[in-house]
Structure 1
Amino acid sequence: MTTRSAGRLKPRITILAADHERLSTLARAATNTHPDVSAILTEELDRARVVADAKRSHPFVRMGHEVEYRDDTAGAVRKVTLVYPEDADIGQGKISVLTPIGAALIGVGVGESISWETRNGELKRLTVLQVGDAEVA
Structure 2
Amino acid sequence: MPISQSPSSRPPIRLLAAESDLIADLALHAENREPVVAAMLLEEIERAELYDAETMPEGHVRLGSKVIFVDERTHEAREVKLVLPADANIAEGRISILTPMGAALYGLGEGQTIRWPDLFGNYRRIRIIRVKEAGTPPDA
TM-score norm. by structure 1 comes to 0.89
Query: Structure 2 CA distance, aligned partners of 1:56 and 1:133?
Result: 13
Partner of 1:10: 10
Tell me the equivalent position of 1:113.
113
1:31 aligns with 2:6: no
C-alpha distance in 2, partners of 1:54/1:78?
29
The 2-side partners of 1:55 and 1:72 are apart by 31
Q: How far does residue 120 in structure 1 lie from its aligned partner after superposition?
A: 1.7
Deviations 1:42-63, CA, capped at 9 Å, x for gaps: 1111111010026651411110
What is the aligned-residue identity percentage?
37
TM-score (norm 2): 0.87
Query: Aligned residue for 1:69?
Result: 69
Say how many residue pairs are matched.
Answer: 132
Native 8 Å contact 2:73 2:125 kept in 1 = yes
Unaligned runs of 5+ in 1: none
In 2: Cα distance, 1:95 partner to 1:83 partner = 6
AA of the residue aligned to 1:29: H
Q: Tell me if the contact between 1:70 and 1:78 (Cα under 8 Å) persists in the aligned partners.
A: yes
| Alpha-carbon distance between aligned partners in 2 of 1:21 and 1:98, rounded to the nearest angstrom | 14
**Are residues 77 and 39 of structure 1, via their aligned partners in 2, closer, same or farther at CA, if it must alter by over 3 Å?**
same
Aligned residues: CA RMSD: 1.7
- Gaps in structure 2 of 5+ consecutive residues: none
